[in-house]
């Protein structure tokens, strides 16, 4: 596998279906960055005024970036499948840097997480990025088929994408499962 485009997220993420906040990968260049989408469901906005919570936006971004990208790279490095990798490691947040919210998301509003990998070493990844609300009816696979690293670096999107959040220094690490077994 060259990249994550076309891979079902449930094959890469350990999260169960109610905690997985990722529908599709649209662009991915290993060690550089990723673009993935999610559309909030009824369960995601329940008891929160019909809004997709900011903390869930951060989680969705982390799943799209540090979890998906690090899982991909670790699988390649160790010649393992994601299922084999999950028997050894559990993804965990280490730190969340600054997050600035500019807009909100409601049930049914598709958004993209655009993540730039800043650092990756010893199963730890640091990413910056943005979340954008997607124009209704846009075919994201078609839109991002000719995307490249330069466009990623400059967040080069058409003006009809709406900036929802900017995220800085989102840090995660794959922790050895044996650490949890000792607790």
127 versus 94: the higher-pLDDT residue is 127
pLDDT digits (tens, 9 = 90+) for 17-70: 889 999 999 999 999 999 999 999 999 999 999 999 999 999 999 999 999 999
The whole-model pTM stands at 0.94
**How much is the pLDDT for 22?**
98
Percent of the chain with pLDDT over 90: 79
CB 77 within 8 A of CB 84: no
Query: What are the domain boundaries of the chain?
Result: 9-181
Phi, psi of 77 (to 5 degrees): -60, -40
Q: Looking at the domain that runs over 9-181, which CATH code has it been given?
A: 3.10.129.10
**pLDDT tier at 87, thresholds 50, 70, 90:** confident
In which residue are the tokens 């919210």 written? 101
DSSP for the chain, please give it.
--SSTT--HHHH----TTT----EEEEEETTTEEEEEE---HHHHTTTTTB--HHHHHHHHHIIIIIHHHHHHHHHHHT--HHHHHTTEEEEEEEE--EEE-S--BTT--EEEEEEEEEEETTEEEEEEEEEEPPTT--HHHHTTT--HHHHHTT---TTSEEEEEEEEEEEEEEEHHHHHT-
pLDDT digits (tens, 9 = 90+) for 166-180: 999 999 998 888 877
Residues facing residue 99 across a β-bridge? 167
**pLDDT tier at 14, thresholds 50, 70, 90:** confident
Whether the pLDDT of residue 183 is over 80: the answer is no
Token readout for 57 is 């936006």
């Amino acid at each position: 596998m060259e990249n994550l485009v076309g891979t079902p997220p449930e094959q890469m993420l350990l999260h169960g279906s109610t905690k997985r906040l990722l529908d599709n990968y649209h662009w991915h260049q290993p060690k550089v960055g990723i673009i993935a989408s999610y559309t909030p469901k009824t369960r995601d906005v329940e008891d929160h005024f019909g809004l997709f919570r900011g903390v869930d936006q951060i989680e969705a971004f982390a799943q799209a970036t540090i979890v998906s990208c690090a899982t991909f790279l670790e699988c390649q490095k160790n010649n393992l499948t994601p299922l084999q990798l999950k028997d050894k490691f559990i993804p965990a947040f280490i730190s969340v840097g600054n997050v600035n919210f500019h807009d909100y998301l409601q049930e049914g509003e598709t958004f993209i997480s655009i993540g730039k990998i800043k650092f990756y070493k010893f199963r730890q990844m640091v990413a910056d990025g943005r979340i954008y609300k997607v124009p209704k009816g846009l075919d994201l696979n078609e839109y991002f088929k000719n995307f490249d690293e330069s466009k990623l670096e400059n967040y080069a999107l058409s003006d009809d994408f709406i900036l929802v959040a900017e995220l800085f220094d989102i840090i995660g690490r794959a922790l050895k499962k044996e650490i949890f077994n000792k607790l």
